[in-house]
Amino acid sequence: MIDYLNQLGIYTFLSIKEKNMEIKQNNNWPELPNSLKNLAIFPSDPTYKQVRSNYFRVGTPLLIIMAKTETNIVDTIKYVSEVRRQKNWKITFSVRSGGHGITMTSVNDGGIILDISSLNKVEIIDANKGIAKIQAGAVWGDVAQKLSPYNLVISSGDFGDTGVGGLTVYGGIGLLVRRFGLTIDHLIGARIVTAIGKIIVADKTHYPELFWAIRGGGSQIGIVTEFLFKADKLIDKTKSIKTPICLQTVTYSVNNLSDFIHDWQEWISSAPKNLTSLLMITNSNHHVGNFSVQATNIWAGIKDENEHIWFNQASKLAGVVKHQEKVMNYADMVVAPHTPHTGQQAVYVKNTLVRAFTPQIAKEITNILNNFNSLGIELRYIGGALNTINAMTTAWTCRNAVGFIALWSAKDDAAQANKNFEPLLKLGTGVYGAYSSDLSSEENARVWPEYIASKLKAIADKEDPDKLFNQGRNI
């Protein structure tokens, strides 16, 4: 029956009426503008369950706006300001792109969520120059698929469902990071909706301060609706593969983790920048001193003698349990499964960037894995192109980092994870904002050192004096 009424457009009409009733009766909020009525989802709506959550938590918002256009975003911002004014600024306001934010701030309880996942267009503007316009609601797996036929790649996250919006505004440490640098290092412009609903097109010469701030400064300046990227060419001269990479996965059984980390670092730091390496280390059997290390090594380019030498060396770093190699399209490595969000990963993540994996750091990693029931520790060697950018060029400043360490633990163990990770933080050079669930001011000070924080704060205070965008990592 409902389907039938829906077809006739009658159910929609009735539900809009009910929606306004709900807003009026339950919350005493102002009436929604006409442009948002069809996009609004309330707790009583049958579709509420499908859109209330992100990857990490189930939200209980009072209102979700499923934006379809940039104008919808502008109208939502104006509406949220109005609700906030009436409610003494107490209503939470979250922005969700891909819903994979480890900060977990893209959903909330009792507030408003603006979902922009329908703004997901990927447009190639100039294939020769690698220029692409990408809307913030797209996910990286889909971006890779769209770029691939043109032999183009943008090094982004390791998982296809992560969103362009949340990853880019925080930096983006991708699978080809050593060769191509951070995701933001390829950004040449962006459209931003500010807290007063103004649309700004920012680049190096127009609104350069805003352009600086959205490259690593997170979401406190405004909502980015569209990014202009200059993608990289990755070509196989034989033309059989569009964006060739060689992927090696090795599972090692390791007894002396410190020695292993030392040898792995020696190996990867001597390798050409074409090679990026990620490790996931677990102590899954809970045998002190016996670790399972899963290495993912990605060679940007086709299979050749050079790649063979380095992969061969990797296979000798420790006792190998499993070893696989394949040549593939970059796009096939980051396919997006488009799994609906149900708050399915109740985890808590901490990280630090490091200047080297020193013996002391290796000892602390071993210590955590031996004494804390974590889900694992991830290591990435990231030294390369990102180190060639001046620290003041973007709001992502840890340009001296060559390593990345992340501790994954169960959400309920957050306090213990903070405590156990503390020694590593002291040895680190800063924190990557997108990959930490810790929203404390101490953590923010590690993400943005004082000289960056004060510049960011001045811009945020000017653009958003009422702190409309306070759901995210904020100074």
Applying CB under 6 A, the residues found at the interface with ligand FAD are: 54-55, 94-103, 105-106, 116, 136, 157-159, 162-163, 165-167, 169-170, 172-174, 218-219, 223-224, 434-435, 471-472
Closest distance of CB 165 from ligand FAD, Å: 3
Q: Residue 124: beta bridge partners?
A: 132
Alpha-carbon distance 193 to 142, whole Å? 24
Closest distance of CB 170 from ligand FAD, Å: 6
When the beta carbons of 361 and 386 are compared against ligand FAD, the nearer one is 386
Q: Residue 327: beta bridge partners?
A: 246
DSSP structural state of residue 31: P
Alpha-carbon distance 208 to 201, whole Å? 10
Closest distance of CB 54 from ligand FAD, Å: 5
Closest distance of CB 447 from ligand FAD, Å: 13
Burial code of 25-39, b = ≥16 C-beta within 10 A, e = fewer?
Answer: eebebeebeeebbeb
When the beta carbons of 221 and 241 are compared against ligand FAD, the nearer one is 221
When the beta carbons of 84 and 96 are compared against ligand FAD, the nearer one is 96
When the beta carbons of 66 and 318 are compared against ligand FAD, the nearer one is 66
Closest distance of CB 374 from ligand FAD, Å: 16
Closest distance of CB 184 from ligand FAD, Å: 10
In sequence order, which residues have a C-beta less than 8 Å from that of residue 448 and are 6 or more positions away? 217, 395, 397, 433, 456, 475
When the beta carbons of 137 and 244 are compared against ligand FAD, the nearer one is 137
Alpha-carbon distance 464 to 75, whole Å? 16
Closest distance of CB 351 from ligand FAD, Å: 10
Residue in the structure block whose two tokens are 């906030």: 84
Q: Which amino acid is at 342?
A: T
For 172, 226, 430, 462, the CA distances from 459, given in Å and listed in that order, are 22, 20, 22, 5
**Phi/psi of residue 397, nearest 5 degrees:** -110, -10
When the beta carbons of 23 and 229 are compared against ligand FAD, the nearer one is 229
When the beta carbons of 260 and 435 are compared against ligand FAD, the nearer one is 435
Alpha-carbon distance 209 to 191, whole Å? 14
When the beta carbons of 169 and 231 are compared against ligand FAD, the nearer one is 169
Closest distance of CB 335 from ligand FAD, Å: 13
Alpha-carbon distance 150 to 127, whole Å? 6
